[in-house]
Amino acid sequence: MSPIPGPPVRVTAVDTYDIRFPTSRELDGSDAMNPDPDYSAAYVVLRTDAADGHEGHGFSFTIGRGNEVQVAAIHALRDHVIGRSVDELCADPGTLNRDLIGDSQLRWLGPEKGVMHMAIGAVVNAAWDLTAKRAGKPLWQLLADADPEWLVSQIDFRYISDALTPDEALDILRRGRAGAEDRRTRLLERGFPAYTTSAGWLGYDDEKLTRLAVQAVRDGFRQIKLKVGADLDDDIRRCRVARSAVGPGIRMAIDANQRWDVDEAIRWTKALTEFDPYWIEEPTSPDDVLGHAAIRAAVAPVKVATGEHVQNRVVFKQLLQAGALDILQIDAARVGGVNENLAILLLAAKFNVPVCPHAGGVGLCELVQHLSMFDYLAVSGTTDDRVIEYVDHLHDHFLDPVVIREGHYMAPTTPGFSATMRPESIARYTFPGGTFWAADLNSQKGHAA
């Protein structure tokens, strides 16, 4: 006798949280454009009435003020999600993705860029977290096991089909199956290569820079990254300090966080070439496709990297078409979530450009490792010249934090997207009412009085 079907399981709540960590006090994360970031998450939890108790967790990353705006944007999407059948949602997150992007009134706030698009990314990523938890697989594995036709059905090809057709995407994914089992074995044994930014924040003095750079090499990293762009004399000194600390065999990337105009970017990068920088990251505005192309032509063989602030697949397409970048830096929480990142990974594969994700922020390492591991198993098929950024703070706030061994991200094995924050961290760092902020704001009031 077959069981009597019960009512369909549905999404019952879309709960949002404004979570902020006081990272600016230690100058962690400081760079030429962002001197005092408080790493923050506009955090969302999809709850269901399923007996399994699984929830979908996702977030947008911001750096403090404005996180309440990001939370409000996520809240504006809730009517698209509440009441949705969980089985249908998890069988096809692409439909949710299309429905969110297609809200004709909210679309006016973008389209497909900025706060509203990041909110869509948070909700879509939460749906993928739920999907992977219900499938009992870490997301990288769910994606790598997925049928290529289904993966292609998850991608919105609007505005990119002149550069990548569904048939081409299918072809890349079908070819990606060859040797995938061997790569999975290697991934589980060795992990995926990482580089560290932890030594190079702009607010750190030379002693701290040296100590952390030496430690990074000792810990097995083959690449470090330095923030540059505030003061050229300082940059020359810091690059010299870092290069002498790590020696000639270690790759050293530099990151200007959009600080320069095009000509200035070229001059400044050339002034630092004696220290053999591997890439210059975000030399100018993330929207300036032709500017990146000009910089790339002028500073070669130094490579040009960008992407953490590239707002959608359309701009990535143009950067690739214009030959404007050597390294494509996806971000798991900037664009419209996993579905759009699938499009971007496939665009990068089509143009044969390596993907080295951005992960400086809270929870970004946890998320993006899944996308790079999928890329290795099922798309690019290689880790050559591919590294995921690693920064060493705030991981302890997550239930399934990243594990770094010998400069490699070890593949997560817990089902989901590694996005779930510890309930006690949420309770402590919710702004402004969590226990940390309430006490902090209270003590400031005391000082003022």
The binding site for Mg ion (CB under 5 A) comprises 255, 281
Residue nearest to Mg ion (CB): 255
CA angle 372, 375, 376 (to 5 degrees): 90
**Cβ proximity of 411 and 187 under 8 Å:** yes
Tokens at residue 348, please? 């990068």
The terminus-to-terminus CA distance of the chain in angstroms comes to: 73
Which positions ≥6 away from 323 have C-beta within 8 Å? 293, 296
Q: Which is nearer to Mg ion, 172 or 289 (CB)?
A: 289
Of 54, 225, 227, 350, the active-site residue reads 227
Q: Which is nearer to Mg ion, 18 or 255 (CB)?
A: 255
Of 358, 370, 395, 408, the active-site residue reads 358
Rounded least distance, CB 193 to Mg ion, Å: 18
**Cβ proximity of 374 and 188 under 8 Å:** no
Q: Which is nearer to Mg ion, 29 or 56 (CB)?
A: 29
Rounded least distance, CB 255 to Mg ion, Å: 4
Max Cα–Cα distance, the chain, nearest Å: 79
Which positions ≥6 away from 151 have C-beta within 8 Å? 143, 169, 173, 342
Q: Which is nearer to Mg ion, 34 or 215 (CB)?
A: 34
Burial letters 166-193, b for 16+ CB under 10 A, else e: eebbbebbeebeeebeebbeebeeebbb
Instruction: Answer yes or no: 227 catalytic.
Output: yes
**Cβ proximity of 242 and 253 under 8 Å:** no
Q: Which residue has the tokens 């962690």?
A: 28
Q: Which is nearer to Mg ion, 201 or 429 (CB)?
A: 201
Q: Which is nearer to Mg ion, 229 or 412 (CB)?
A: 229
Task: Tell me the β-bridge partners of 389.
Answer: 195
Task: Quote the distance between the C-alpha of residue 274 and its chain's center.
Answer: 31
**Cβ proximity of 49 and 6 under 8 Å:** no
Tokens at residue 438, please? 């309430």
Rounded least distance, CB 98 to Mg ion, Å: 30
Rounded least distance, CB 309 to Mg ion, Å: 8
Q: Which is nearer to Mg ion, 59 or 279 (CB)?
A: 279
Rounded least distance, CB 400 to Mg ion, Å: 24
Helix (H) or strand (E) holding 182: helix 180-190
Q: Which is nearer to Mg ion, 281 or 366 (CB)?
A: 281
Spell out the SS3 assignment of 327-367.
Answer: EECCCCCCCCCHHHHHHHHHHHHHCCCCECCCCCCCCHHHH
Rounded least distance, CB 443 to Mg ion, Å: 33
Tokens at residue 342, please? 């699938």
Helices (H) and strands (E) in the chain, counts: 17, 12
Rounded least distance, CB 281 to Mg ion, Å: 5
Instruction: Answer yes or no: 408 catalytic.
Output: no
Rounded least distance, CB 257 to Mg ion, Å: 6
- Cβ–Cβ contacts within 10 Å for residue 7, how many? 6
Task: Kindly list the catalytic residues.
Answer: 227, 358
